[in-house]
């Protein structure tokens, strides 16, 4: 298998587009039993309320075209049990939408997630493996391989190949990341200074520029300058929107990842 990885690394290295890299990843995944590929990326794992965030990027291979509409426009991504588990895990995991199956998503199969389960069962996409990828700058991606139908020995084979699948997913993402449009990377491209984040944190608690100036022992114009700079970087129209966006991207913590 390592020889195969070296082969695919060479293939990825020559790719100049994200779609070409995804095509090569799909080809590689089929060699270990996965028929479809789902790849998504979002700047943050969850919003300030802890809910899964709709991804900035969702790429599909050998998957029904309407999945993008259901997951992104209709919000299925937010109640997808696989995604909920992935936000809490860093290890690859096998999943099965059969309620009697003992997998990581089993306890999440309820009324809220039933629309997702129904969609996947109706399209024979009820089994697969997902690799969560938590990036140092706070970004988050998942690479998912799906097997159609319910092959008798697929669960055993998937568990046997889960380490290889995980390595392949990380090799693929490493190359895909370099080809993702910077506008989609969102928070990864933001470079707020510690002073800008400090001013936003105080603003999030309802403090005025004058009150912030007293706390940080800087002049009011200096505080206003930091807040305006943060607004510009976040693409916000006002301070309230800047605070909301900074919170969503996890930038209000004292030591963000």
Q: Which of 167, 186, 205 is the last residue of a domain?
A: 186
Give the structural domain span for 139: 2-186
Q: Is residue 152 part of a domain?
A: yes
Distance in angstroms (rounded) separating the CA atoms of residues 206 and 200: 10
Q: Same domain, yes or no, for 108 and 177? A: yes
Same domain, 141 and 26: yes
Q: Are the C-beta atoms of residues 82 and 105 closer than 8 Å to each other?
A: yes
Cα 105 to chain center, whole Å? 17
| b (16+ CB within 10 A) / e for 202-238 | bbbeebebeebbeeeebeeebbbbbbebbbebbebee
Same domain? For 6 and 131 the reply is yes
At residue 165, the pLDDT reads 93
- pLDDT score of 233: 87
Residue 257's pLDDT is 40
178 and 202 share a domain? no
Domain end, chosen from 133, 160, 186, is at 186
Residue 126 and residue 63 share a domain: yes
3-class secondary-structure state, position 137:
coil
List the chain pLDDT tens, one digit each, 257 residues. Answer: 556 667 778 878 888 999 999 999 999 999 889 999 999 998 888 766 678 888 989 999 999 989 999 999 999 999 999 999 999 999 999 999 999 999 999 999 999 999 999 999 999 999 999 999 998 877 899 999 999 999 888 899 888 889 889 999 999 999 999 999 877 887 777 788 999 999 999 999 999 999 999 999 999 999 999 999 999 888 888 999 899 888 877 788 765 44
Residue 212 neighbours by CB under 8 Å, 6+ apart:
199, 202, 203, 223
pLDDT at site 49: 66
Cα angle value 30/79/122 (rounded, 5°): 55
Q: What is the pLDDT of residue 195?
A: 94
| Residue 256 maps to a domain | no
24 and 144 share one domain: yes
What's the domain count of the chain? 2
Q: Which of 186, 204, 220 is the last residue of a domain?
A: 186
Whether residue 127 contacts residue 146, with contact meaning beta carbons closer than 8 Å, is answered with yes
Tell me if 253 is assigned to some domain: no
- pLDDT number for residue 119: 98
Are residue 69 and residue 19 in the same domain, yes or no? yes
CATH number at residue 135: 3.30.450.80
Whether residue 113 is contained in a domain is answered as yes
How high is the pLDDT of residue 105? 97
Kindly report the pTM of this predicted structure: 0.80
Locate 59 and state its tokens: 């790429």
Question: In terms of domains, do 125 and 166 share one?
Answer: yes
Residues 75 and 145 in one domain: yes
């Amino acid at each position: 298998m390592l020889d195969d990885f070296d082969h695919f690394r060479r293939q990825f290295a020559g790719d100049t587009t994200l779609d070409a890299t995804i095509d090569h990843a799909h080809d590689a995944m089929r060699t270990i039993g996965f028929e479809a590929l789902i790849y998504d990326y979002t700047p943050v794992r969850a919003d300030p309320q802890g809910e899964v965030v709709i991804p900035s990027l969702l790429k599909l291979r050998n998957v029904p075209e309407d999945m993008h509409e259901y997951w992104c426009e209709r919000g299925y991504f937010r109640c997808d049990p696989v995604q909920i588990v992935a936000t809490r895990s860093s290890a690859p995991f096998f999943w099965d939408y059969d309620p009697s199956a003992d997998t990581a998503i089993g306890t999440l199969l309820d009324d809220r997630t039933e629309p997702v389960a129904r969609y996947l069962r109706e399209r024979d996409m009820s089994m697969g493996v997902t690799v969560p990828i938590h990036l140092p700058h706070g970004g988050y991606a998942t690479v998912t391989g799906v097997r159609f139908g319910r092959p008798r020995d697929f669960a055993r084979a998937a568990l046997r190949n889960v380490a290889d699948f995980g390595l392949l997913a990380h090799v693929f993402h490493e190359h895909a990341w370099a080809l993702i449009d910077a506008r989609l990377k969102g928070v990864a491209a933001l470079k707020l200074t510690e002073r800008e984040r400090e001013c936003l944190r105080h603003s999030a608690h309802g403090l005025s520029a004058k009150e912030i100036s007293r706390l940080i022992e800087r002049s009011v114009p200096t505080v206003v300058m930091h807040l305006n700079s943060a607004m510009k970087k976040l693409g916000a129209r006002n301070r309230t929107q800047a605070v909301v966006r900074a919170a969503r991207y996890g930038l209000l913590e004292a030591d963000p990842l």
